[in-house]
Structure 1
Amino acid sequence: MIGKSSLPELVFGCAAMGDPSHPQAKFNRPENTLPLFELLRARGVAHLDTARAYPVGAPGTSEALLGSLRAGDWATIDTKVVSWRPGTHTAEMIAASIPLSLDALHLDKVNIMYLHAPDRATPFAETLRAMDEAHRAGKFSELGVSNYTAEEVEQMIEICEREGYIKPTVYQGRYNALIRSGEQGLFPTLRKHGIRFYAYSPSAAGLFTGKASKNVSQNALAGSRFDGTTPLGKVYQEDYFKDELFEAADRLRAAAERENLTAHAAALRWVMHHSALDGRHGDAIIIGASSLAQVEQNLDILEAGPLSQTLLQELGEIWQIAKDSAPVYHR
């Protein structure tokens, strides 16, 4: 078994936290969220990632719940500006978005403030100027970017260096055993500029559990991440519901079972111990879950150590099956 000398940090993602009336908000009241906080603190996880968009369908309520429970008193908190639609990254929109987040979180300043997804209708120079102004005003410590192409990251760095703006120091992107195009297309750019990589969706939205497959009815997916009646569920189905990806997941499931493991566990341990992530560069894994039991299970998995050489070889072969159909790292 070959592992890493320096492991990535763990960050807890708060996308499933918020308005109790929303199906994606599994942690939605003090009664079920405070025990989560206690578990995270006991396991040494004191870094939370949220966004103005969380949970998808009830934006702003993740930040509001975190703020009402004063999570910033014990945790480092990162968030993201309003994004995902053309025109959301104008100077005016950014100037409006950041105070909403800070007010909801009951904080004067967050750790990382991300541009959640590219707004290609607004010039990057305008967006970066607005973020620089917010940084100079003390609203956040670091600038993060998420879901951009490597070429766009290069463009942004060039603008920031030319204009003297704060440069992005963290990139948050999709990365797992089925989404690896960033290894060649993105990671060299990040390493060149000293930008850390925070991996979200390390378990491929739970595809490896086998609960979602091409033969499963939509009714059976109700309430899950792949629930096609929700905006996020539709996105996950578009990304992952492909024959080659189901085949890859089935192969890993069979290989993992031969070693008395689940495919979900093998996939998470690959990201922690064998992927391109490196703690020496400050990289991190953003984990999430829909229940306290899942959080504990995922933390146990990530602490379990490297995989066998046999499973590593299988994961390499699985990527060869999946790569032509796999989602890309950017949006």
Structure 2
Amino acid sequence: MTQSHTSTPLPQAPLGHGPVVSRLALGTMTFGAETDEADAHAQLDAFVAAGGTMVDTADVYAGGESERIVGRWLADRRADVVLATKGRFAPPAGSAGASRSALVRAVDSSLGRLGVDAVDLYLVHGWDPLTPVEETLDTLSTLVRAGKIKHLGWSNVTGWQLQRIVTTARLGGFVPPCVVQPQYNLLDRGIELEVMPCCLEEELALTPWSPLGGGWLTGKYTREQRPSGATRLGEDPGRGVEAYDTRNTDRTWRILDALTQVAQSYDRPLSHVAIAWLLARPGVASVLLGARTLEQFLGTLGAAHLELRPSDLELLTAVSAPGLPPYPYGMIQDTCGVEHWRALGTATTAPA
């Protein structure tokens, strides 16, 4: 295989109307859980040395330890990074996750753990059905005016939720989000139904998490043998959205066969091709990379400099097309001439 990383600085892109960031971002969910502090700091050092700027964490990662680890590294490196964190899933007693009391406490707690006066990007980690979105946006806007937050985003929302957030912000005079952070990869293209079209319409950037599908798109799993050993699915085969029995399907293996074919033609790891495909998708500004070890992390950085041939992009897009449910999406496309699903390479009917 060719060299896994390069001295060429990582390319940059704007987060919608927000800051300019590196097109590969460092996700820190493993810090303090699967990755100890020394290895975490080594990843951060390598990332900045490669020209990386966006570091993403959250208050719930390892019970706040991820933020503390990042904060101790940041002590003399604050100017080197665009710092993002998230809150929503650890509200105080008697309040909902995105309520005023929860967010004020969450932001102040995150700033304390990170050891900073402000974060460049604060994301609400998911929709809160118990709190009016006006309250959430008013609270976040107040925190922006107080100088504790510079830009806003959301993670893990549906299309209607995202549109309501954006419209409420516009009509209410609140600070609008500039970015959405969803799961998105060759195996899970569900955001193309509603979330991505909304982002493109409203000029919001996308920063996908799980670009390698929880390890599936590295080629380390096989259809003949269930995973075992020191891998995510080896230790927990039922883990989250990437569970082995959930993704062990004919579609998954068709995608992996095509991914292998393309990767071999470039003499690159499968991971590089999977990330390069994602970086070429509409609206994607930066892709979150997370790894247990420095070696794993360095092995993905070279993906930023891989530009796939149009024919290879078309092959991967076609083989991974999730399909449109016949109603209402297929009918709308057929009768109203809606082009965004065609442009995204999403099939007109649901797959068999």
Q: TM-score range by the shorter chain?
A: 0.7 to 0.9
| Aligned position for 2:55 | 48
Q: What secondary structure, in the 3-state scheme, does the structure 2 residue paired with 1:199 have?
A: coil
Look up the equivalent residue of 2:270 and give its one-letter code.
A
8 Å Cα contact 2:277/2:308 also seen in 1:
yes
Aligned partner (choices 149, 170, 175) of residue 140 of structure 1: 149
Correspondence for 2:189: 180
Match of 1:275 in 2: 281
Equivalent residue for 1:72, pick from 53, 78, 92: 78
Shift of 1:315: 0.7
Q: Which amino acid aligns with 1:292?
A: L
Where does residue 135 of structure 2 map in the other structure?
126
1:234-313 alignment, distance < 5 Å: 234-237=240-243, 240-256=246-262, 258-259=264-265, 260-272=267-279, 274-277=280-283, 283-303=285-305, 305-313=306-314
Structure 2: tracts of 5 or more residues without a match: 1-10, 14-22, 326-352
Distance in 1 between residues matched to 2:289 and 2:172, nearest whole Å: 35
Q: Identity of aligned pairs, percent?
A: 22
Kept in 1, the 8 Å contact 2:121–2:153? The answer is: yes
Aligned-partner SS, 1:175: coil
Query: Offset at 1:314?
Result: 2.6
Residues 223 and 119 (structure 1), Cα distance of their counterparts in 2 relative to 1, 3 Å cut: farther
Please report how far the alpha carbon of residue 240 of structure 1 lies from its aligned counterpart in structure 2 after TM superposition: 5.0
Aligned equivalent of 2:167? 158
Q: Which amino acid aligns with 1:12?
A: L
Query: What do the CA deviations read for 1:221-249 (whole angstroms, capped 9, x no partner)?
Result: x5433356499x23421795241343234
**Offset of 1:258 from its aligned partner?**
4.6
Distance 2:176 2:188 in 1: 26
Number of aligned residue pairs = 300
User: How many Å apart are 1:101 and its aligned residue?
Assistant: 0.3
- AA aligned to 1:302 is A
- In the alignment, does 2:40 pair up with 1:39? no
State whether structure 2 residue 98 is matched by structure 1 residue 89: yes
What whole-Å deviation, never above 9, does each CA across 1:157-199 have from its counterpart, x for those lacking one? 2222232211111111122222223334223322332222112
What 5-or-longer segments of structure 1 have no aligned partner? 1-5, 326-331
Counterpart residue number, 1:3:
none
Provide, for residues 89-134 of structure 1, a one-character-per-residue CA deviation record: whole Å limited to 9, x for no partner.
1211112111110000001100011001111222212222221222
Code of the residue aligned with 1:287 in structure 2: it is: L
Trace 1:186-205 onto structure 2 (pairs within 5 A): 186-205=195-214
Q: In the alignment, what sits opposite 2:331?
A: none
**2:288 match: secondary structure:** strand
CA deviations 1:49-88 (Å, max 9, x no partner) are 111121xxx2211001111222535322100013388921
Compute the displacement of 1:252 (Å).
2.2
Partner of 1:317: 318
Contact 1:88/1:94 (CA < 8 Å) preserved in 2?
yes
Deviation, 1:261, is 3.7
If asked which structure has higher relative contact order (CA below 8 Å, sep 6+), I would say 1
Structure 1's 226 and 50: CA in aligned 2 closer, same or farther, altered over 3 A?
same
Q: Is the CA contact 1:212–1:226 (under 8 Å) kept in the aligned structure 2?
A: no
Q: Which of structure 1's runs of 4+ aligned residues deviate more than 4 A? A: 322-325
Q: Which amino acid aligns with 1:96?
A: R
User: In structure 1, what is the Cα distance between the partners aligned to 2:48 and 2:195?
Assistant: 32
1:269 partner amino acid: A
Number of the residue aligned with 1:329 = none
What letter corresponds to residue 275 of structure 1 in structure 2?
R
TM-score (ref. length: structure 1): 0.81
